[in-house]
């Protein structure tokens, strides 16, 4: 196979973007094989913009047309697992959009089915994993540069969305259409990076506000506290109503600290000895001397790394990596099966707030679904 023929399911904001990138030749080894959308206005739009590309109203017809080798699911989140499974069933490679689904039970079904087709490529659009900044943070943690993790905090409130954003389409910010708010729409990238870099916690406790500053039924304000089961803890804060938002990710280890600001700058402080050793060896007089105007360089080195990113480059990188995996087996940066971790975190945060207590991971998937369905029913009343 020279070039992967991609079928884009859903030609809305994201699908439209990918159709543009690929047809402009920006994605190596990929062409648009077909487009699909249930909305008749998208059919008209595609006929004008891409007259030579086949268009389907039903994605199953597209999968069976012989025009695509792979698909990407640019449709509301609930549909990603079902479409991934239907593609893989027909020996078509699947790239699912984030989040992998709304609840872990449906994502687990997708993962289990994909595991029966190891010869096919199954990826997820976690474009932030292609960001050299987060790759560097992961490398530093994996290599133990700041030692054993003691605490993680991420405040990511740069998602300001005015009411007009929510009013533009029916499915957004509803339990039935979207399955959640900021946790399932805006923050999945950070939930994935958080667990990719720091690991999955064992327990989650949260305070979540639903329709707090926006006229929506789902969450627009989240504070979650996690316990990694080994003494380490973490906090994740996100919202969609902070017009002067923050993006600050801190990881404290027993041998140093990493601070990421605005996804652009890493400051890493590496202790010369671990904090426990310093606690044993330093006298209180040494401490006061160093901290009251002395040289902190005596106890740690500091390095600052700055990064810049080009808009669109990350999504193109995910597509190219997906195509390369199909063509020559290049390892995937974001295997599709990894999508379940971020969904499990979002589900646990929701469930903890619904039950008003700490919840354990792995999650009680059935209980989550019962509680989610209650909210769908209430919303429809």
Ligand X SMILES: NC(=O)c1ccc[n+]([C@@H]2O[C@H](COP(=O)([O-])OP(=O)(O)OC[C@H]3O[C@@H](n4cnc5c(N)ncnc54)[C@H](O)[C@@H]3O)[C@@H](O)[C@H]2O)c1
Residues forming the site for ligand X (CB under 6 A): 9-15, 36-39, 42, 59, 74-77, 79, 97-98, 125, 127, 169, 185
Tokens 């003691």 belong to 150
Output the smallest distance, CB 123 to ligand X, in A. Answer: 12
Least separation in angstroms between residue 255's CB and ligand X is 34
Shortest distance in whole angstroms from residue 161 CB to ligand X: 12
| Residue nearest to ligand X according to CB distances in the complex | 12
Complex with ligand X: residue 72 or 324, whichever CB lies closer: 72
Taking the complex as a whole, the smallest distance from the CB of residue 213 to ligand X amounts, in Å, to: 21
Min separation Cβ 11 and ligand X, Å: 6
Backbone φ and ψ of 345, nearest 5°: -65, -45
Least Å from the CB of residue 286 to ligand X: 49
Cα torsion 239, 358, 150, 309 to 10°: value is -30
The residue with tokens 């949260």 is 206
Nearer to ligand X, 181 or 256 (CB): 181
> Strand 219-227 to strand 233-239: parallel, antiparallel, or no bridges (unpaired)?
antiparallel
Strands of the 122-124 sheet, one edge to the other? 55-56, 30-36, 4-9, 70-73, 93-96, 122-124
Pick 187 or 349: Cβ nearer ligand X: 187
Q: Report the alpha-carbon distance of residue 316 to residue 322 in Å, rounded.
A: 10
Closer Cβ to ligand X, 140 or 182, answer by number: 182
Give least dist CB 6 to ligand X, A.
15
Residue with smaller CB distance to ligand X, 178 or 275: 178
For ligand X, which is the closer residue by CB, 76 or 81? 76
Instruction: Tell me whether residue 131 or residue 325 sits nearer to ligand X (CB atom).
Output: 131
14, 244, 326 from 125: Cα distances, Å: 11, 27, 15
Which two structure tokens, joined as six digits, stand for 185? 């729409």
- Closest CA relative to residue 123, chosen from 92, 163, 158: 92
**CB distance 86 to 63 below 8 Å:** yes
Strands (E), the chain: 4-9, 30-36, 55-56, 70-73, 93-96, 122-124, 149-156, 203-210, 219-227, 233-239, 247-253, 256-261, 265-271, 300-306, 359-360
Compute CA distances 133 → 172, 266, 271, 362, 367, whole Å. Answer: 30, 8, 21, 29, 37
Least Å distance between CB 246 and ligand X?
20
- Shorter beta-carbon distance to ligand X: residue 263 or 359: 263
């Amino acid at each position: 196979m020279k070039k992967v023929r991609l079928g884009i399911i859903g030609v809305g904001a994201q699908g439209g973007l990918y159709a543009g990138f690929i047809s402009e030749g920006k994605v190596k080894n990929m062409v648009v094989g077909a487009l699909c959308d249930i909305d008749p206005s998208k059919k008209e739009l595609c006929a004008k913009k891409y007259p030579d590309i086949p268009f389907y109203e039903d994605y199953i017809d597209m999968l069976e047309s012989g025009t695509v080798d792979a698909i990407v699911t640019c449709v509301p989140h609930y549909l990603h697992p079902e479409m991934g499974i239907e593609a893989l069933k027909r020996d078509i490679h699947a790239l699912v959009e984030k989040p992998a689904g709304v609840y872990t039970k449906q994502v687990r079904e997708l993962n289990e089915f994909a595991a029966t087709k190891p010869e096919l490529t199954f990826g997820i659009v976690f474009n932030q994993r292609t960001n050299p900044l987060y790759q560097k943070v992961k490398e530093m943690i994996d290599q133990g540069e700041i030692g054993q993790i003691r605490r993680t905090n991420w405040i990511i409130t740069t998602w300001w969305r005015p009411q007009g954003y929510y009013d533009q389409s029916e499915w957004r910010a509803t339990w039935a259409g979207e399955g959640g708010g900021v946790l399932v729409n805006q923050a999945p990238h950070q939930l994935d990076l958080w667990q990719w870099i720091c690991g999955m916690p064992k327990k989650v406790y949260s305070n979540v506000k639903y329709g707090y500053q926006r006229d929506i039924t789902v969450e627009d304000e989240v504070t979650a506290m996690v316990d990694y089961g080994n003494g380490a803890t973490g906090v994740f804060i996100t919202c969609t109503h902070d017009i002067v938002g923050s993006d600050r990710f801190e990881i404290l280890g027993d041998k140093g600290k990493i601070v990421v600001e605005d996804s652009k700058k890493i400051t890493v402080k590496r202790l010369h000895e671990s904090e426990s050793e310093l606690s044993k060896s330093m006298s209180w007089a040494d401490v006061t001397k160093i901290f009251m105007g002395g040289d902190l360089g005596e106890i740690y080195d500091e390095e600052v790394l700055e990064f810049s990113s080009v808009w669109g480059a990350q999504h193109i990188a995910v597509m190219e990596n997906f195509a390369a995996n199909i063509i020559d087996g290049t390892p995937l940066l974001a295997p599709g099966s990894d999508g379940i971790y971020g969904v499990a975190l979002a589900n646990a945060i929701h469930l903890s707030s619904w039950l008003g207590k700490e919840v354990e991971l792995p999650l009680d998937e059935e209980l989550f679904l019962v509680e989610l369905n209650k909210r769908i029913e209430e919303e429809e009343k």
